[in-house]
Structure 1
């Protein structure tokens, strides 16, 4: 009889794609908001990668998923800083501008020290308008179970969606719909879930996704699944310290929960739990250490 230990079968990691925007966020926390022509001294400064897809990928990686970000980052110093933060937090970056120095957006963020509310000024994806940042070698990437699209790079989103629809099994498609973008007219009809903010309003005549989730700040999250079942999920009342990226954390957790087979109601409950953890901690990444790795 062999004394060798029995072989174990390791469960493959859940692979999720996050396609869209990466920025570099420069975040200042202040006890007062500056007025016209006024300077104030921040009580804290952080620098991290930002953008809806990028932040959602960080959340997913921290929850134990294999998170692959499909986004133009580029070879310049700003891109290098963003990439370093993402890779440090377990995100695999598929750079659609690899080897090219692009003007990656730098977002100026202010967080109110008393309320945790954030204000953001950013060029988002507009700095690379006219630059081809569509991915061309998606076949080389690990197959996803869920794909999130944030719509910030329209051609990239269309390309990833078209590719995902050719796969068998077809991955679940989730849209991060913070505010209306014309590209959503091309994406929503193929989406399994649209996770939208209360400010998102699609024009009449646009095809709807199979299921929807709507966040309303601290008010209950509303949802409607593919079968037409509707419900609400309460958001716990907590001491809010920092709201930056809370919606992105919600979306990243939602993607992971759906990828692990939870139904929409249970997935929303998990996303609310994760976003609630996020808002209770100061800074863009400190909250991650409070997540149990799935």
Structure 2
């Protein structure tokens, strides 16, 4: 193991996706178009993104003892991701996500956590040496908060950089945030964290300042077509997005976070890493699905995106 190693702790789901003209409002039934199933889960998506973009990754997760869990294990192995810490839960099924994607590529998602809700601190104990040998720990919030707290505290105590993607949003305590090196909310999550509606870069600056004041050293707010805003050691930097025609934004944030971790593991500055992450996410939104949309490293070169 080396400082370049990335540990992802998080969720594994099977995504069930329906394309439709618009996302229904409460009480409305909409006749959709195509339906497909695609492996997903924010943790799994980020682990796959790290692997496809050239990072060295170990994934810690929990699935059900069912067909979806077995499929996930097989798919991770095909991606070159170790399944040593992919645990099977005897009591709960694998997590599933019901996703509606509209004609503009926007989505609405409901997740049934299943086995993900049983990924507890005790499950991480066998992987502590694996975490200790890494340079970066990447997490999201589709697993129990006690597990996020445990892993963040342990990693930070060893000087490992903790990247927290606060999605789906949950209560973040000062105790947790003091262990986070970089937090990566999108504009809505930044609003929920700061209380400031984030519709512009100026709004994002205000929100980032408040979030940093909660104890996080570095804040990266992702803003879709507007790019990303970085607050690093008290300094702001804006990174523009590459203009693309979005087909499906599912997993774009996961691709961003996985790419961010890869670039940082290669010794890039935070600004360079965010640029790389924006470019990878831009490719992903031009494709349907979660893991099916994640680009490989060579695609960034083919697309005239610089290899950092």
User: What range is the shorter-chain TM-score in?
Assistant: 0.7 to 0.9
Residues 199-220 of structure 1: per-residue CA shift (max 9 Å, x gap): 2233689732111100122213
Partners of 1:245 and 1:196 in 2: how far apart? 14
| Map 1:28-47 → 2, pairs under 5 A | 28-31=18-21, 33=23, 36=27, 38=29, 40-47=31-38
Return the match for 1:64 from 43, 51, 54. 54
Partners of 2:73 and 2:178 in 1: how far apart? 32
Asked if the contact 1:178/1:199 (under 8 Å) is kept, the reply is: no
1:189 corresponds in structure 2 to 178
| Map 1:15-26 → 2, pairs under 5 A | 15-26=5-16
1:140 is displaced (CA, Å) by 4.5
1:245 is displaced (CA, Å) by 0.4
Asked if the contact 2:64/2:115 (under 8 Å) is kept, the reply is: no
1:252 is displaced (CA, Å) by 0.5
Q: Which moved further from structure 2: 84-93 or 59-68?
A: 84-93
Evaluate the alpha carbon distance shift between residue 89 and residue 184 of structure 1 in structure 2; reply closer, same or farther with a 3 A threshold. farther
Q: Structure 1 residue 202 and structure 2 residue 209: aligned?
A: no
Structure 1 gaps of 5+ residues are: 1-10
2:298 corresponds in structure 1 to 292
| Map 1:258-273 → 2, pairs under 5 A | 258-273=264-279
More helix by percentage: 2
2:152 corresponds in structure 1 to 161
Secondary structure of the 2:125 match is: coil
Scaled by the length of structure 1, the TM-score of the pair is: 0.82
Secondary structure of the 1:137 match is: helix
Q: Structure 1 residue 234 and structure 2 residue 240: aligned?
A: yes
Return the match for 1:278 from 276, 284, 290. 284
Partners of 2:232 and 2:104 in 1: how far apart? 33
Evaluate the alpha carbon distance shift between residue 272 and residue 80 of structure 1 in structure 2; reply closer, same or farther with a 3 A threshold. same
Partners of 1:92 and 1:223 in 2: how far apart? 32
Partners of 1:219 and 1:195 in 2: how far apart? 15
Evaluate the alpha carbon distance shift between residue 219 and residue 19 of structure 1 in structure 2; reply closer, same or farther with a 3 A threshold. same
2:231 corresponds in structure 1 to 224
Q: Which moved further from structure 2: 60-69 or 75-84?
A: 75-84
Q: How many residues align structurally?
A: 279
1:138 corresponds in structure 2 to 127
1:147 corresponds in structure 2 to 137
Asked if the contact 1:28/1:45 (under 8 Å) is kept, the reply is: yes
Asked if the contact 1:73/1:95 (under 8 Å) is kept, the reply is: no
Secondary structure of the 2:188 match is: coil
CA-atom RMSD in angstroms: 3.0
Secondary structure of the 1:207 match is: coil
1:6 corresponds in structure 2 to none
Residues 146-191 of structure 1: per-residue CA shift (max 9 Å, x gap): 1012133212212222332343xx2211110235422454321111
